[in-house]
Amino acid sequence: MELLLLDIDSEVEQIISNLCRARSLVCHSVSDIDAALEKLQTCELDAVLLSLSLPVSLSPTLSPTLSPALSSLWSSGAAEAGARSALVRACRARGAAILLLLDDVALLGQLDDETRSAIDDFVLPPHDAAHVGARLDLIVRRRRAEAQLRAAALAKQAFAARVLGMQEAERQHLSRELHDSISQLLLVHRMDAEWLAGQADNEAVHDAAERLCTGLDETLHLVRALAMDLRPPAIDDLGIDSAIETLCGNVARRSRIHCRFEGDRRVRALPEEVAVTMYRIAQEALTNAARHAKCRNIHVQLLQHARSVELRVTDDGVGIAPDRLVDTSSFGLVGMRERAELVGGHVSIQTGPTQGTSIRAMFPHTPHRPGAVNTQAPPREGNP
């Protein structure tokens, strides 16, 4: 664990340095905010310790080695009065905790809401070794707990990605077997039954052969439909837009709901895992709308943005009950969110009792990083 001391009183700095050595913690010390921002960029800091009375000053220009994220904090207008706020936001951007040293708890009232809400802990006088040590131990325990939670989330996400990957591979295998093997066998038997019907002299045998042909036609149609549901070949052969357009047509025929698809010719080729995820979310959203929304119309859009592609499924039905939006047993909604997060995307749901439901799924063009937890765009839900 690494700590940064920013313009701390020399006596307190010595106490903290001794405590860090005793706990095998790395301790850095700087005298101004510029140096603190540079340390945040170059070191994996776990916590920043600063005093409420530190001199608020920034040099006219920040170091060119700062990351774009930290540079943007300065360019956003953080001058002398907002320097501490800039540092706080930099700590948040880098995931560093904030420990504040102050002389009077009333001084917290001088801080703006953003800074006050960002403080993880504070230390009041006397700044003795026992007092400061207890606060440091608390920070260490918190950071370790956070690390364990992150590791557990990564493990859970990696496991989910593997399960879904295996599921999609099995779906693809079954789809090919149904299409290439079982469908071909049924087609051969259909041809035999047709030949038998043509050769039969007995009317009863002829009628039985005709019924057999009809039954084989229905079975062949069902097998092909199952193969399409398991893994539409259009995803691999024609692209995601054609696959979703075909899906809309199938839903319209089965449910007699008007399902309109609106594609975007600018949509680029997507990585396979993103395309399959988008198709599965469209499949789930359309199925839910057809079964539960009591709608007359469904509008499906595929939209190209500068750095992402968006899938939007909107219906004019009765909407989704608020308790279902947060119900973890609603496997359809939960599955859509988790699938999207596994490829770096996110799903948002807007619904109302008279406005229907709009499901928006955003996906990046660039391949996702396996095992990375997506925390950049949490689902936004509520009324439109």
Residue 372: per-residue pLDDT: 41
Residue 301: per-residue pLDDT: 93
φ and ψ at 62, to 5 degrees? -85, 160
| Residue 99 pLDDT greater than 70, yes or no | yes
> What CA–CA distance (Å, rounded) separates 28 from 6?
9
φ and ψ at 258, to 5 degrees? -70, 115
pLDDT tens-digit readout, 157-191: 778 778 777 877 787 788 778 878 888 888 888 89
The structure tokens listed for 323 are 């308790």
pLDDT tens-digit readout, 10-44: 888 888 888 888 888 888 888 888 888 888 888 88
Closest CA to 1 of 18, 23, 17: 23
For the entire predicted model, the pTM comes to 0.56
Cα 303 → chain centroid: 18
Which domains are delineated in the chain?
Answer: 2-127 (3.40.50.2300), 240-382 (3.30.565.10)
Summary count for the chain: helices (H), strands (E):
13, 11
